[in-house]
Amino acid sequence: MDAEQYAALSSIQLTWAPTPDDVWRTNELHVDGMNENSLSSVMRSFDEADKRSTSKPLGVVIQGAAGSGKTHMLGQVRDKVQSAGGYFFLIELLDEKVFWDSVLHGILTDIERPTPGFDSQLEKLLWDLGTDVGLGRMECRALQGERTVSPDLISQFIDRLRRKYPDLKQARHTLRALVLAASADFDLQDLGDAFLRSNDALDHEQRTYWGLPNAVLTSQQVAVDISWLLSLSAPTVVAVDQIDTLIAQSRMQSDPKGVFTAEQGTQLDNIAHGLMGLRQNLVRTVAVISLLPSAWTFIADNTVESVKDRFHVAESLHQIPTREIGVEIVAKRFAARYEQAGFTPPHPTWPIAPEAFDDVNLYNPRTLLRSVDDHIQICLRNNDITELTTLNPPVPVVVIPPAPPGDFVKLDARFAELLAVADFSALDADDEDDTVPSLLGAGLDAWITETGTVEHKFTRDAEPGRKPSLHGRIRRVLDDVTDDQEHWGFRAIAARNPISVQNRIQKACTAAGLTQGTEKRRLVILRSAPWPSGPKTAKTVQAFEDAGGIVVSFTESDVLALSALKALAAEKDENLQAWLVARQPAHEIALFRDVLPKTPVLDEAAGANTVVHQPATDPGLFPAHEVRPAEQSPAPAPPPPISDTAIPLGTPTDGGPEVSVELETLRKHTAIFAGSGSGKTVLIRRLLEECALKGVSAIVLDPNNDLSRLGVEWPSGSRNWTGDDEAKASDYFSNSEVVVWTPRRSAGRALSFQPLPNFAEVIDDPDEFDSAVESALSSLAPQAMALGGTAKSRQMMAVLRQALVDFGHRSQGSLDDFIDLLENFPDGASTLKNGVKIAADLAENLKASTTTDPLFGGAGSSADPGMLLTPRAGKSARISVINMSGLTTASQKENFVNQLQMALFAWIKKNPAGDRPLGGLFVLDEAQNFAPSDRMTICLHSTLALVSQARKYGLGMVFATQAPKGLNNKIPGNCGTQFYGRLNAPVQIEAAKEVARVKGGSIPDIGKLPAGEFYAAVEESSFVRTKTRLCLSYHPKSPPTEEEVIQLARG
């Protein structure tokens, strides 16, 4: 082989496993005549979606054996859809438990991809919507991020769009965040992206300035909002890939004997419900699924019947149909490389002889290209070119000739020279997205070459587009039939801003498919600086590490080595491949050495590194029907004990270990949907009792007297104790206390809101005194009508503050004393010219508030959250039951809950849980009365604010309702743990089923459940039908009367 031939042949780099990023690149190597019927099926559905902006056409299933060109076809779909003015998104489904997280991640990633005429699909969307409502060119360019955007312009844009499309109300916040994400300002990008990805650590002032609400949307809500916005512009195709890999890995990890388990059935149900949800929830969108034929058969036969009704199965992808197409597949790949090398081959497929393609119809594109590549590598290693005359040759003898020492000396010197060229922009947060992908790509390419193996050859993902979630990824296909793979993803993070760091880690985890228990998905974060301080960042990093993530220092020496390898690759020295195998420079780079597998270099034994790839088949490793013969099942292992930080909830009705929930998971809130007679009250009580046994206090709203007996023991002999319940009851009553409060019932234990702190206790500490003034100001300002943005409101607030300072230094008294001070305002107490008159107005407003709201400054103990949650000495937990029978009107109840929630919000911010898994519980029974779905209440805003923010301070909320349709729809999506008990009304049953479907579960017999049985779903786990335990405290059939509640309150 002469030097020209060697250079030409070594320039050929074949890839046979396209990655998701390849879908987004124009494919000049496409060959017409392959699988055109399947492509037409997708485009017919796309045309149907184009006809009506509200259409929901059937999805399309693209099925074919591994290597038959499914991912390549998605690239053709993408090209045709975008050329027709539509939108395209590719979803890598790497974890079925977080289906909608994967969907949203794919949408937010691909919306930044280019489309004809625009740098990104997001720019096209914002331009189309802006011009649709008559905005000028300059305004539209600002929305696209090409000019500075302002809150006023975004509001004007949204107002115009809402006038034309009234349904925008549901998606307006998502649209506002998309505009911020399109900005050229990195901080605004992070703000918009953080909102879209439900990061609850956003700065309140930033949110307010840019008009973003405090509510945290679910991934599904954001995805549905974006779909609706896209539908105003053009139809969309959402393609789902990697399902085969997900099923294969699940099967291998949980079922080594080939028998599918109940857990796998749940996983498949999650996948099926997610796929149905795409078609059901996304507007003007065609859902396309790409998977193996046997995988689709298995999903269709073993999950809900309706999944088959929502998808049309296109014609299966086949092997290469003709000899001519096989020749063209190879010739197109060779031609571009040979032309670049200035080489004219003897014939277009040289060194693959024309007769080798005689049996190409037995191969698919992947196995054809692997056979071709195997032959090329053998020629290069033997330094001798022979033409391949059959795609199934005998195993050849590989002879490794000694490398020319002089050539290695030359490359050694050049590599050393390049190591001295310093460019460390990759270590800069502003430049890493531009520089790190190409550096990692060069390094990973060199690392792959250095392994020298053909079998289990590694492949590298193409370099990502702008705003990448990952900077590089390397894959290894472990099974050609099932497409089982293992991945190593890389992401550099040099940012120091906490929100930027949190966003980048979360995006990288989702893109890499990093979850606990998934061994074949690895994510490596490259970072040299310490992480930003703060509990949210610490929690994000801890979750990343708990899932198996790795942090590796990204050093200057790493950057120099990667830069040198990139430069060497560009210079294309004919001896580079042999030099890499001999010198192993990429294997010596620390960030690769520490995380990538230890692979053997080229074995010099004859044929040791050569593998022959037979024609692809699909022998049906996914069984067509689920088989679970009892006689084949091993004896069940004893159930593992629950952790010390978890509480038991009950036992599965079909057997299995105790269903439990970690205390820390309760921070993410709990929803209980169950009707009268379902056992809902017993479940609430047992949840509170188990938490109290762990030292967790609670505040409980009791509108129906059902919860007032939490401190009453069962009469002797009235209950049959099971398990360890009797011992637990003894512990509960010995170490916990239950206090019943009766607002507006002085005969019991009255409760009111006292806005003034004890100034005498803090008078000697200026900082504490200022804090006390601010606390009083926040309580009094709404009642004194001093809030607002007007000049008068600001003046009233100033005088109120000055009056509080004067009052705090003068004396300690009641609210009446403070009002008296305002009525007789001292000269000089205010710097405002009309301070005396303003003080008099404040006094009148406060007197009016005390008259209309007896709880404001009235009789009884102060509704101080600290007092309500703090047990007396010798007790480990306090349960404060607030009986609401004394609040006779809906507005009184709403006003009380509103004030309590505002006080609770302020208290938890000053007293967060810190290292404790759970700081406390706040229980709202009949929650639909306080946070309804169809109207505004006095306490709705504070409820939604608390549900979105409380978790980060360690407060868990429990929402119980027998009317799931009546509960504000923002609450279920914020509840990590959900219970579904028996419901009676058909409308509520259907509403509960819909809420469960959103969470990925099925509750078909919810109208027939016996009392005490619930479908329980803890965080991202599947739904388990559970028999809950009877409460430890006395629970007769009837609730106590009001008189009995008064007696319980008196103690």
Return the pLDDT at 1030.
93
Instruction: Quote the CA–CA distance of 296 and 276 in Å, as a whole number.
Output: 14
Return the pLDDT at 302.
64
Return the pLDDT at 618.
37
| Nearest CA-CA partner of 902 in 865, 868, 872 | 865
| Residue type at position 732 | Y
Return the pLDDT at 172.
94
Return the pLDDT at 602.
42
Between these two residues, 621 and 151, which has the higher pLDDT value?
151
The model's confidence at residue 94, banded by pLDDT at 50, 70 and 90, is low
Residue with tokens 């399902």: 243
Which range among 68-82, 636-650, 1037-1051 shows the weakest confidence by mean pLDDT? 636-650
What the block records as the tokens of 562 is: 């990667």
pLDDT tens for 386-435 read 899 988 765 454 444 444 545 688 889 899 998 887 677 777 877 888 89
| Nearest CA-CA partner of 386 in 355, 356, 352 | 352
Which range among 158-162, 487-491, 652-656 shows the weakest confidence by mean pLDDT? 652-656
| Nearest CA-CA partner of 49 in 375, 405, 287, 214 | 287
Put the strands of the sheet holding 236-241 in their side by side order: 87-92, 236-241, 285-291, 59-63, 311-313
Which range among 143-157, 606-620, 762-776, 912-926 shows the weakest confidence by mean pLDDT? 606-620
> What's the longest Cα–Cα distance across the chain?
108
Q: What average pLDDT does range 148-173 have in this prediction? A: 93
Per-residue CA distances from 411 to 49, 407, 445 (Å): 57, 6, 17
pLDDT tens for 503-539 read 899 888 888 888 755 678 899 999 988 999 888 899 9
Return the pLDDT at 458.
81
Residue with tokens 């300059």: 138
Residues in the chain: 1051
Please report, for the chain, how many H helices and E strands are present, in that order: 35, 23
Residue 633 has pLDDT above 50, yes or no: no
pLDDT tens for 457-468 read 688 887 887 778
- 526 bridge partner residues: 492, 552
Residue 639 has pLDDT above 70, yes or no: no
Query: Which domains, from first to last, does the chain contain?
Result: 33-102+235-319 (3.40.50.300), 117-233 (no CATH), 405-593 (3.40.1350), 646-752+861-1050 (3.40.50.300), 759-852 (no CATH)
Taking a C-beta distance cutoff of 8 angstroms, is the pair 739, 872 a contact? no
Per-residue CA distances from 437 to 57, 112, 467, 773 (Å): 38, 17, 11, 53
Alpha-helical (H) ranges within 911-968 are 940-953
Q: What average pLDDT does range 343-359 have in this prediction? A: 92
Return the pLDDT at 400.
45
Instruction: Quote the CA–CA distance of 769 and 735 in Å, as a whole number.
Output: 35
* This prediction's pTM: 0.52
Q: What average pLDDT does range 238-246 have in this prediction? A: 79
3-class SS shares of the chain: helix, strand, coil, % to 5: 50, 10, 40
Residue 621 has pLDDT above 60, yes or no: no
Reduced to 3 states (helix: H, G, I; strand: E, B; else coil), residue 332 is helix
Instruction: Quote the CA–CA distance of 835 and 816 in Å, as a whole number.
Output: 20
From the number of C-beta atoms within 10 Å of its C-beta (0-12, 13-18, 19+), residue 986 rates as exposed
What the block records as the tokens of 659 is: 């269903």
Residue 856 has pLDDT above 80, yes or no: no
φ/ψ of 518, rounded to 5, equals -105, 100
Taking a C-beta distance cutoff of 8 angstroms, is the pair 399, 382 a contact? yes
Print burial letters for 720-737: b (CB count within 10 Å at least 16), e (below 16). eeeeebeebbebbbeebb
Taking a C-beta distance cutoff of 8 angstroms, is the pair 971, 931 a contact? yes
Q: Beta strand 472-479 with 484-492: parallel, antiparallel or unpaired?
A: antiparallel
Return the pLDDT at 265.
54
Residue 303 has pLDDT above 90, yes or no: no
What the block records as the tokens of 96 is: 């079925």
Per-residue CA distances from 138 to 131, 146, 601, 873 (Å): 11, 9, 58, 67
Instruction: Quote the CA–CA distance of 867 and 861 in Å, as a whole number.
Output: 9
Alpha-helical (H) ranges within 240-398 are 243-254, 262-281, 293-302, 306-309, 323-341, 365-382
Query: At CA 380, angle to CA 377 and CA 382, rounded to 5?
Result: 105
Residue 699 has pLDDT above 50, yes or no: yes
pLDDT tens for 36-60 read 888 899 999 999 998 887 788 889 9
